[in-house]
Amino acid sequence: MNKNLEIWEDIFQNNEWGKYPSLAVVRFVARNFYKVPNRKDIRILELGCGTGANLWYCAREGFSVIGLDGSETALNTMISRFNAEHLNSNLIYARDGDYSLTIEDIEDDSLDAIIDVESLYCNSFSKTRQIIQKSFKKLKVGGKMMSQTFGDDTLGIGFNCENNVDCEDEFYHAEFPKSKYFCDKGFFRYTTKEDIEKLYKLDNNEINSIHRLDYVYNEDEKLKEWIIEIEKKC
């Protein structure tokens, strides 16, 4: 899905995008890490960090962060903000490119948390599964991952096989949507509740919680998201 990287690079070049964190991230980080003795010892990686809104929040709270994103423009924006706000000492590093590859440069068993806020959905089902497998190699035992991803029936976009990108994958559930909210933003993969375990459950982890957030626009248009938390067990 390299075309998606080109699309999002163009979006970041032409839009002011994302300055403040997801509430789900704030809750996840606060619940799991606010009580640690030394926050800077906690290493948090974000997959598809964009311009760094979530990592900016984590850094302001004293944690060490790593950002991976496909857009060089987005990462440059994040780094400039960190420098301007004197948070650069909390940024371990940031790397652009396909994070299914760049994550391999991170030391195994070195991370305390991994965050995905509506980024993994840009990848096919099989590629997402591979990224999750690589992610749990990088987490310490007891480390946690939070994934916020689009659910089925979001804003009226369904699973019409005529519009799907690759119907050979039973769990692909993907389109190039034309809704006014997602038009021209590339490949979207939606996740059903049945997909969650097939995507996230590995031999070395446990899914701790699954929550659903539904936002309703104009009564009949809904944005549906899953909030999934997983812990590495061994």
Contact 192, 225 (CB under 8 A): no
Output the CA angle 48-215-143, nearest 5 degrees.
Answer: 40
Q: Is the pLDDT of residue 11 over 70?
A: no
Residue-wise pLDDT tens digits, 31-87 = 999 999 999 999 999 999 999 999 999 999 999 999 999 999 999 999 999 999 999
The Cα diameter of the chain in Å comes to 54
Work out the pLDDT band at 20, boundaries 50, 70, 90.
Answer: confident
CB atoms within 10 A of CB 28: 22
Question: For helices 53-60 and 23-33, what crossing angle results, to 10°?
Answer: 30
CATH of the domain at 105: 3.40.50.150
Mean pLDDT of 86-94: 96
In a domain, 86, yes or no: yes
Best CA proximity match to 205, nearest among 138, 150, 105? 138
- Helix, coil or strand: residue 74: helix
Work out the burial of residue 3: count CB atoms within 10 Å of its CB; fewer than 13 is exposed, 13-18 middle, 19 or more buried.
exposed
Which pTM value belongs to this model? 0.85
**Any domain includes 170:** no
- Domain count for the chain, please give it: 1
- Does 156 map to a domain? no
CA–CA separation, 175 and 173 (whole Å): 7
172, part of any domain: no
> Do the domain assignments include residue 171?
no
Domain-embedded: residue 213: yes
Q: Answer yes or no: is 143 within a domain.
A: yes
167 located within any domain: no
Which H/E stretch holds residue 196?
helix 193-200
Per-residue model confidence (pLDDT) at position 76 = 94
- Which token pair is 180? 């006014």
Q: What is the mean pLDDT of the chain?
A: 86
Compute the average pLDDT of residues 97-112: 97
27 within 8 A of 51, measured Cβ to Cβ: no
pLDDT at 166 over 80: no
Q: In terms of residue numbers, what domain contains 24? A: 2-151+191-232
